Amino acid sequence: MSWKSVKNILIILLLAVNILLAFFAYNHYVPARITDSNTALSAAKTLRSSGIFVTTELLSVRNDSLDILYTDFDREEYVCLAAAMLLGKEADGIYMLPNGVRAETLDGESAYIGYDMSLEFVARDKKDIIESAVAASNSASGDESEAACALIESRFAIESGSLDRTLCKKSGNIIFVNVQSTENNIPLYSMNAIFGLEGERIVYAEGKHFFGVPLESENAQLLDRINILFSEKERGMRGNVKNIHLCYALYEDSENGRMMYVPSYEIIYDSGKTSVINAISKKLYQSSFQE
Amino acid sequence: MEKIKLSPLEKAKTAVIAILTVTMLALAALYIGGSQFYTGGAAINVNEMPSGAVTVGETAPKFTAVYEKELLKASFAGIQFNGEGGGAYACEPAASDLISFSLEGIHRLLSSSAKISQSSAAEFEKAVNGNRYICISLLSPLPYQTVYALSGEYIAPASYENAISAEALMLVFDESCNASLYLRDGEKYYISQGEYSISQAELTVMASDSRLHDFEIANGNPISESSPVVQTLSLGVSALFGHDKLEELLKALEYTGNEVQPLATSSSYNVVAPHGVLLINQDKITYTAETEGGIPISSFLGNSKSELDLDMYDILLATVALAEKLCNVLPQSTADLYIEGFYKNDDTYTVVFGGSEGGIPISGDKYPHLMRVTVNGGRFKSIDARLITVEKSGLPFSPFSSAWEYRHAAKSASIHSLGLRYDVKELPVSELNAAWYYTGERQAEK
DSSP assignment of A131-170 equals HHHHHH-EEPPHHHHHHHHHHHHHHTTPPTT-S-GGG-EE
Q: Which residue of A has its CA nearest to B36?
A: A28
Sign of CA dihedral B441, B137, B154, B158: negative
Average of pLDDT values for A28-51?
Answer: 77
Q: Which residue of B has its CA nearest to A221?
A: B43
Residue A24's SS3 state is helix
The confidence score (pLDDT) of residue A209 equals 95
| Residues whose CB is less than 8 angstroms from the CB of residue B122 and which lie 6 or more positions away in sequence, other chains included | none
Inter-residue contact A86 to A202 (CB < 8 Å): yes
For residue B95, how many C-alpha atoms fall within 13 Å in the half-sphere facing its CB?
23
Which of B10, B55, B63, B301 is the best substitution to test chain A (most A C-beta atoms within 10 A)? B55
pTM, entire model:
0.58
The confidence score (pLDDT) of residue B46 equals 47
Q: Which amino acid would we find at residue B218?
A: A
Across the interface, whether the CB atoms of A252 and B55 are under 8 A apart is answered: yes
Question: For B40, which of A7, A32, A115 is closest by C-beta distance?
Answer: A32
Contacts of B51 in chain A (CB under 8 A): 255
Helix axes B200-207 and B93-108, enclosed angle (nearest 10): 150
Contacts of B46 in chain A (CB under 8 A): 223, 280-282
Is the model's pLDDT at B326 over the cut of 60?
yes
Across the interface, whether the CB atoms of B47 and A221 are under 8 A apart is answered: yes
The confidence score (pLDDT) of residue B146 equals 95
Across the interface, whether the CB atoms of A15 and B20 are under 8 A apart is answered: yes
Is B11 an interface residue toward A (CB < 8 Å)? no
Q: Distance from B63 to chain A by nearest Cα, in Å?
A: 5
Helix (H) or strand (E) holding B16: helix B8-37
Across the interface, whether the CB atoms of A280 and B49 are under 8 A apart is answered: yes
Q: Distance from A135 to chain B by nearest Cα, in Å?
A: 29
pLDDT grade for A11, boundaries at 50, 70 and 90: very high
Which of A30, A67, A254, A281 is the best substitution to test chain B (most B C-beta atoms within 10 A)? A254
Output b/e per residue, B152-164; b: 16+ Cβ within 10 A: bebeebbebeeeb
Inter-residue contact A237 to A45 (CB < 8 Å): no
Residue B371's SS3 state is strand
Contacts of A281 in chain B (CB under 8 A): 46-49
Is the model's pLDDT at B2 over the cut of 80?
no
Q: Distance from A134 to chain B by nearest Cα, in Å?
A: 27
Omega cis (within 30) before B428: yes
Is A110 an interface residue toward B (CB < 8 Å)? no
The predicted-structure confidence for B384-416, as pLDDT tens digits, reads as follows 988 788 888 877 888 888 888 888 888 888 888
Q: Which residue of A has its CA nearest to B48?
A: A281
Among A210, A191, A207, residue whose Cα is nearest residue A276: A191
- Mean of pLDDT over chain A: 87
Is B65 an interface residue toward A (CB < 8 Å)? no
For residue B98, give Cα distances in angstroms to A14, A92, B86, B110, B383.
Answer: 83, 22, 10, 18, 34
Inter-residue contact A196 to A204 (CB < 8 Å): yes
End-to-end Cα spacing for chain B? 125
Contacts of B17 in chain A (CB under 8 A): 7, 10-11, 14
Inter-residue contact B213 to B226 (CB < 8 Å): yes
pLDDT grade for B241, boundaries at 50, 70 and 90: low
Between chain A and chain B, the number of residue pairs with CB atoms below 8 A apart is 122
Separation of CA B60 from chain center: 20
**Phi–psi pair at A200, nearest 5 degrees:** -105, 5
Helix axes B8-37 and A3-29, enclosed angle (nearest 10): 30
**Phi–psi pair at A253, nearest 5 degrees:** -110, 85
Average of pLDDT values for A43-66?
Answer: 85
Contacts of B13 in chain A (CB under 8 A): 7-8, 11
Is A233 an interface residue toward B (CB < 8 Å)? no
The confidence score (pLDDT) of residue B258 equals 56
Question: For A251, which of B48, B53, B62 is closest by C-beta distance?
Answer: B53
Interface of A with B in 236-255 (CB under 8 A): 249-255
Across the interface, whether the CB atoms of B20 and A14 are under 8 A apart is answered: yes
Is A189 an interface residue toward B (CB < 8 Å)? no
Among A289, A116, A87, residue whose Cα is nearest residue A208: A116
Contacts of A250 in chain B (CB under 8 A): 55-56
Across the interface, whether the CB atoms of B59 and A35 are under 8 A apart is answered: no
Interface of B with A in 15-44 (CB under 8 A): 16-17, 20-21, 23-24, 27-28, 30-31, 34-35, 38, 40-43
Across the interface, whether the CB atoms of B47 and A8 are under 8 A apart is answered: no
Contacts of A21 in chain B (CB under 8 A): 24, 27-28, 30-31
Across the interface, whether the CB atoms of B24 and A14 are under 8 A apart is answered: yes
Distance CA A14, CA A9 (A): 9
Helix axes B144-151 and B93-108, enclosed angle (nearest 10): 110
Q: Which residue has the higher pLDDT, B57 or B352?
A: B352
Average of pLDDT values for B177-189?
Answer: 93
Among A67, A74, A88, residue whose Cα is nearest residue A212: A74
The predicted-structure confidence for B4-38, as pLDDT tens digits, reads as follows 667 888 889 899 999 999 999 999 988 887 666 55
Average of pLDDT values for B136-144?
Answer: 94
Average of pLDDT values for A95-123?
Answer: 88
Average of pLDDT values for B422-433?
Answer: 89
Q: Which residue of A has its CA nearest to B49?
A: A281
**Phi–psi pair at A257, nearest 5 degrees:** 65, 45
pLDDT grade for A153, boundaries at 50, 70 and 90: very high
Ordered DSSP codes for B134-154: EEEEEEEEEEHHHHHHHHS--
Average of pLDDT values for A236-245?
Answer: 89
Q: Distance from A219 to chain B by nearest Cα, in Å?
A: 12
Is A10 an interface residue toward B (CB < 8 Å)? yes
Rg (C-alpha) for chain B, rounded Å, is: 31
Is the model's pLDDT at B262 over the cut of 60?
no
Q: Which residue has the higher pLDDT, B388 or A32?
A: B388
Dihedral (Cα; B13, B15, B19, B22), 10-degree rounding: 110
Give strand pairing partners of A27: none
Across the interface, whether the CB atoms of A223 and B16 are under 8 A apart is answered: no
Provide the H-helix boundaries in B177-287: 200-207, 243-252
Q: What is the DSSP letter of B394?
A: S
Residue B340's SS3 state is strand
Burial class (CB in 10 A: 0-12, 13-18, 19+), A116: middle
Is A99 an interface residue toward B (CB < 8 Å)? yes
Inter-residue contact B162 to B97 (CB < 8 Å): no
Helix axes A37-49 and A225-234, enclosed angle (nearest 10): 10
Separation of CA B229 from chain center: 26
Is A67 an interface residue toward B (CB < 8 Å)? no
Q: What is the DSSP letter of B228?
A: P
Is A29 an interface residue toward B (CB < 8 Å)? yes
Burial class (CB in 10 A: 0-12, 13-18, 19+), A265: buried
Across the interface, whether the CB atoms of A7 and B47 are under 8 A apart is answered: no
Average of pLDDT values for B265-289?
Answer: 78
The confidence score (pLDDT) of residue B43 equals 38
End-to-end Cα spacing for chain A? 83
Q: Which residue of A has its CA nearest to B38?
A: A29
**Phi–psi pair at B164, nearest 5 degrees:** -125, 125
